[in-house]
Chain A
Amino acid sequence: MKRVIVRLEDFGKSFFKKEVIKHINLDIYENEFITLLGSSGCGKTTILRSISGLDKPTTGKVYIDEVDVTDMDPTKREVNTIFQNYALFPLMTVYDNIAFGLRMKKVDEEEIKTRVNEMLELVHLTGYEKRFPRELSGGEAQRVSLARGLINRPKVLLLDEPLSALDLKLRKEMQIELKRLQRKLKITFIYVTHDQDEALSMSNRIAVVRGGKIEQVGTPSYVYDHPSTLYVATFVGEANVFDAEVKKINKEKKLLYLGDNFVSKYSKNKYSEGDKVKVVIRPENIKISRTLKKENSLKGVVDELIYDGSNTKLMVDVDGMIVKVLVFGNDHSYEVGDKLYLYWDNVDMNVFGEKDER
């Protein structure tokens, strides 16, 4: 059993009587990289701020390493935060910025010097000691802010959209960098982002936050392959969403109708005849055939081909609905106007009923 390092127990938060976080329970383990993923205003930053102590929960408790810190001052908590705008102290040098936390703890200057140098090396900024924040690029500034947090050897590092101010290339580099740091230092990272790519590529676990609630928690591949709700399915990764209806039931198998003419076998017992459902299929799970398949098969016309260097995305018009299909590479014979049949395996299909949605 992994050790729980942060526990949110019935945690709720209201601002001006408006409930922003609705009674969340979440355990975060030692040495994991967990991402709180959600669109802006979903409450993910509020969760982070209650762990750092910058906000106090309205209801419930926050535990850090089994100690109740709900009413503890942020200055006393063994967590550090990385801010989106870096929040470096503009009038202090890089060295003084990084040394700030240790100076507040009255560590002696000799040890501070050793540890600052260690940190500068860790974030590849040796030689930057005397620079001022204004003389740093965005990527360098964020490395300094990482060093400034990590030097305190926190139990948890909280990262509030730390890469969103950087350009794409730098962002990709920093993603790898962050992952490396986390593995090397074995500190729990709690990462907040609205970028699902970032969440999928960096995390051990993802918690999808929506409207102040946690919609699903799981490993990136589990959340991607088995989304618990339609929202998660469409927010994490690309998805084709079909309207369907459950029509005939015989013993174990139900038949799903997509539109009027198409039938798919569906064996879960969750829905009964007449239920309207949504069928979600990832673009890469849709296969293409020139001939009609027995089941899970839709007839369509290629509307557009989009080649991005490594993959080709086919936009296929199926009865007026554009279905996205992903084909690896550029080695195919499809052209705009081709008539095709789309099919898929039942395991790649996620079905959500209307009653599942809030």
Chain B
Amino acid sequence: MKNNKVLDNIWLTLVFIFLFLPIAILIIFSFNKSRLNIMFTGFTLDWYKELFNNSVLLEALINTLIVAVISTVISTVIGTISAYGLKKYDFKGKKLINELLYIPIVIPEIVLGISLLCIYSFMKLELGMFSLILSHIAFSIPFVIINVNSAIESMSANLEEAAADLGASKFKTFFHVVLPSLMPGIVSGAGLAFTLSLDDVVISYFTAGPDSNTLPLQIFSMIKSGVTPDVNALITVLLLMIFTGIFIYMSISLRRIKREGV
């Protein structure tokens, strides 16, 4: 038994090294004096300076954030309302729609990317920020719906009836009772939509225009000419932002768990 435990720990350590070593190396090399990501030759903050002078990369970053924020907000609103509607109302073809939801999730991204491109050219829609945001909204909605759905399932069945019984209109019931109960599902759905949008390459590749270069696309195109260490610096900054976000979310949910004793 004791032996097993040691083996378990070694195994776990290896898994974590496998998962996090590449990220660690990336962070370390962002402080590397050498231009090549091979040897660590000394500490420097030059790449961070260079990053803030690299207008192409910064523009791509801003584009990425704009697309991610707008597509997350819109897909979260549409997804939440759709999930609630699909749960609450019975209509013909409801089952079919519920099944169809999974198709955008399971089909290869490249298929979705090409189909979107086809639609845009058919509709004579010029490729740019608008088409890009539209595509990101399209692939994010199912993820939001599925997350909100699970929150709806765990909501006590007759809360809405209780609210109606106490004189709350449908509108007030939704905002005072339903929406707060669905918040955990909405937040995780939105989080998923945001990260998916942030690192999407394939669909963006097909639907972005010349003025809407995103960070993943930019880095992808830089591979041909060699990735410069200022990209490492950029990724480190992004990671810092993401970890801060996760930390805030975790501490909020921890407080909530303590309060409600879930």
Interface residues in chain A, defined as those with a beta carbon under 8 Å from any beta carbon in chain B: 52-54, 73-76, 79-81, 83, 85, 87-91, 100-101, 104-105, 132, 134-135, 148-149, 152
Contact = CB atoms under 8 A, between A and B. Distances in A.
Nearest to B259: A132
With most chain A CB atoms within 10 A of its CB, the pick from B156, B165, B167, B176 is B165
Interface in B247-262: 259-262
A89 B165 contact: no
B181 interface: yes
Interface in B171-219: 172, 176-177, 180-181
A135 B260 CA distance: 7
Interface residues of B, number: 21
Interface of B: 156, 158-159, 161-169, 172, 176-177, 180-181, 259-262
A153 to B, nearest CB: 12
A100 B260 contact: no
Contact of A75 (B158, B168, B260): B168
Contacts of B158: 83, 85, 87
A148 B161 contact: no
B172 A87 contact: no
Contacts of B168: 75, 100, 104
B179 to A, nearest CB: 10
A79 B162 CA distance: 12
Contact of A54 (B156, B161, B176): B161
A105 B167 contact: yes
A80 B262 CA distance: 29
B259 A89 contact: no
Nearest to A158: B165
With most chain B CB atoms within 10 A of its CB, the pick from A73, A88, A89, A101 is A89
Contacts of B161: 54, 74, 81, 83, 87
With most chain A CB atoms within 10 A of its CB, the pick from B164, B166, B259 is B166
A83 B163 CA distance: 12
Contacts of A83: 158, 161-162
A8 to B, nearest CB: 19
A80 B165 contact: yes
A90 B156 contact: yes
Contacts of A135: 261
A101 B167 contact: yes
Given A81-B161, A85-B156, 6 more contacts: A80-B165, A81-B165, A87-B158, A90-B181, A104-B172, A105-B167
Nearest to B180: A91
